[in-house]
Structure 1
Amino acid sequence: MKNIIELSTQVGEELKAKKLLLSVAESCTGGGVSQAITEIAGSSEWFDCGFVTYSNSSKTELLDISASLIAQHGAVSEEIAAAMAQGAIANSEAHVSLSTTGIAGPTGAVPGKPVGTICFGWVVGGVTHTERLVFSGDRHAVREQTVAHALDKLLRYLKEL
């Protein structure tokens, strides 16, 4: 997989060329996607904002996700990843968004959701996409793979516009 800074640069080039702004909503990555994006000089031209919504209550307060939806599906679900990405769009000036929510470990696994389970959301061109993957490795490795995958998939969706 491409390195994170290279991916961030390419995402920025696509967004800038298409005159689009990005927002992100992160849980398990704790701002890692936003940090990777802001490593790129000039990212203020295409990056609007990032929401770090680690707790369920912050997802409700900052992204307008209903507590009942979280209770129904769990914070680590494609439904919540979709709602996070949609909430990032609704609560910013952005046109495009991505979200991450998951279990980076080493604890936190629940039945059906082992450590390394990550759910992603992307809103590109008005369409919401989600994905659920399970990464291996320690906490750092899971978070790094999550940031890279979120950016790589966003780049693919942007190129399809």
Structure 2
Amino acid sequence: MSNITLANAETLGRQLGLRGWKLAVAESCTGGGIAHAVTDISGSSAWFDRGFVTYSNQSKIDMLGVKVQTLESFGAVSKQTALEMAAGTLMHSQADLALAVTGIAGPTGGSAHNPVGTVFVAWIVKNFTAECTHLRLSGNRQEIRQQAIDYCLEKALALSRHPQ
């Protein structure tokens, strides 16, 4: 884990603590990397509620309430799925801020429509509308996953600083 990742996680923890907020995450392509980064910070139990590693489609359905129809119509790596993952994370946690990430880290699994490096990050702050960003990352599997983790931590930090 990079020093930037740890610094962002530590700063995020301080900021969430100041707001009295809790964070929850749903991770697919990052495989628990965001949760790992934030739980490396001592005292993170005060601001990190839980993480869902929903790598399979069935786990997205079972744990987060992603609709079968969404997965069939749009696929696991889509804006629609990421938004449903974020909403499910918020619903199944005590969080004020929920993040969800789904993507293709490679080297296999890519397609013309969703090449390796395609990542969707969705977020929702309690009582606000969910939003999603479509990323096109590059590098090998480890690099893509790390870039996604860092983006999610930076996004969470920005959201925790934004006046609501």
> Could you state the TM-score of these two structures normalised by the residue count of structure 1?
0.96
Tell me the distance in 1 between the aligned counterparts of 2:119 and 2:78: 8
Instruction: List per-residue Cα deviations over 1:116-145 (Å, max 9, x = no partner).
Output: 100001112523110011111000000000
Tell me the distance in 2 between the aligned counterparts of 1:160 and 1:89: 18
**Residue 72 of structure 1 aligns with which residue?**
73
1:90 paired with 2:112, answer no
Mapping of 1:11-22 within 5 angstroms?
11-22=12-23
In structure 1, the residue corresponding to 2:130 is in which secondary structure?
A: strand
Instruction: List per-residue Cα deviations over 1:74-121 (Å, max 9, x = no partner).
Output: 100111111111100101111111011000000001221110100001
Aligned residue identity for 2:162: E
**Residue 144 of structure 1 aligns with which residue?**
146
**Residue 154 of structure 1 aligns with which residue?**
156
Computed over aligned residues only, the root mean square deviation of the Cα atoms, in angstroms, reads 1.3
Mapping of 1:10-89 within 5 angstroms?
10-89=11-90
User: Is this contact kept in 2: 1:73–1:80, CA < 8 A?
Assistant: yes
Structure 2 unaligned regions, length at least 5? none
User: Is this contact kept in 2: 1:20–1:95, CA < 8 A?
Assistant: yes
Instruction: List per-residue Cα deviations over 1:35-72 (Å, max 9, x = no partner).
Output: 00000000000000000000000000000111111111
Tell me the distance in 2 between the aligned counterparts of 1:154 and 1:46: 12
Number of equivalences: 161
Tell me the distance in 2 between the aligned counterparts of 1:91 and 1:154: 18
**Residue 121 of structure 2 aligns with which residue?**
120
> Could you state the TM-score of these two structures normalised by the residue count of structure 2?
0.95
Aligned residue identity for 1:45: A
**Residue 129 of structure 1 aligns with which residue?**
131
Structure 1 unaligned regions, length at least 5? none
Tell me the distance in 2 between the aligned counterparts of 1:119 and 1:65: 15
User: Is this contact kept in 2: 1:124–1:158, CA < 8 A?
Assistant: no
Aligned residue identity for 1:81: A
Tell me the distance in 2 between the aligned counterparts of 1:143 and 1:21: 23
Tell me the distance in 2 between the aligned counterparts of 1:70 and 1:13: 36
